[in-house]
Copies of this chain bind each other. A is one copy, B any other.
């Protein structure tokens, strides 16, 4: 792997890493548990490995950070074919390599039930510059990267048995997050892992504000657009790993950052409620949690 950043990686009691001068460390951990976050019969091992790391990288992106190294705790059940494990690592390491990220440690164990993975990602960001959930102010505009609903559609089709398998490879928005920090554009930021309605509520709670979203402005992924419930899929579907951020109205936010589309979808309000404008009518926006890939 290019860009060897670990002073000492796998093979000692700890990994040793250097944080760039003038930077703070960012750390996130995320489970990927079989039967809760994924199912072997619904996704390829490569896809499961990719998504395992993408969950952690997306959290680094949401803070505007750059990833440095990753750590994987992985428990495997008896009888799991080595080929499955190899393919899981292929998916995970392909994504790691894209970000010149080293797998610098972790733990391995026998599993009492299914494949159990917990990913830790270490990143860094210039001191005091991290994007937080708590900085949104009334009047700030609300933006989202890319398009929403692809993972939710896949889950819907799998549950209805319309399809047997579906791989979705979400791309963590690392470059967008770094751009937002560098250009001091975002007042608050989060990644959409639990769904737009839920993650927007996190920003509003932490910032002590509310929000007004315009339904017609939400960018719908092409995979979701032909479904009658596409609005619900984009509002409540999780695991899109797009960024949701706010920006003061006097900032100039472009229509794209790199090749990633940026869409304005609403505005932060003083009243601490989430509202949706749909067909020119206002309604309450209810935050619905995301149930991942469990079979419910």
Contact = CB atoms under 8 A, between A and B. Distances in A.
A77 B38 CA distance: 17
A60 B36 CA distance: 31
Interface in A1-60: 7-8, 11-19, 24-31, 33-37, 58-60
A58 B13 CA distance: 9
B14 A60 contact: yes
A16 B26 contact: yes
A151 to B, nearest CB: 17
Contacts of A58: 13
A257 to B, nearest CB: 18
A130 interface: yes
Contact of A24 (B16, B28, B71, B120): B16
B111 A191 contact: no
A26 to B, nearest CB: 4
Given A113-B114, A114-B112, A118-B118, A14 B33 contact: no
B13 A28 contact: yes
Interface stretch (A62-70, A178-186, A210-218): A62-70
A107 B112 contact: no
Nearest to A291: B110
Interface in A161-191: 189-191
A34 to B, nearest CB: 6
Interface of A: 7-8, 11-19, 24-31, 33-37, 58-60, 62-63, 65, 69, 71-73, 75, 104-107, 109-114, 116, 118, 120, 122-123, 125, 127, 130, 132-134, 189-191, 206, 294
29 contacts: A7-B24, A8-B132, A11-B206, A12-B133, A12-B134, A12-B206, A13-B58, A13-B62, A13-B191, A14-B26, A14-B27, A14-B63, A14-B130, A15-B27, A19-B25, A25-B25, A27-B69, A29-B71, A29-B118, A29-B120, A31-B73, A31-B75, A33-B112, A36-B109, A36-B111, A73-B118, A107-B118, A110-B294, A113-B114
Given A13-B28, A14-B27, A19-B25, 15 more contacts: A12-B63, A12-B206, A13-B63, A13-B189, A14-B28, A16-B25, A16-B125, A17-B26, A18-B127, A31-B73, A31-B109, A36-B111, A73-B73, A112-B114, A116-B116
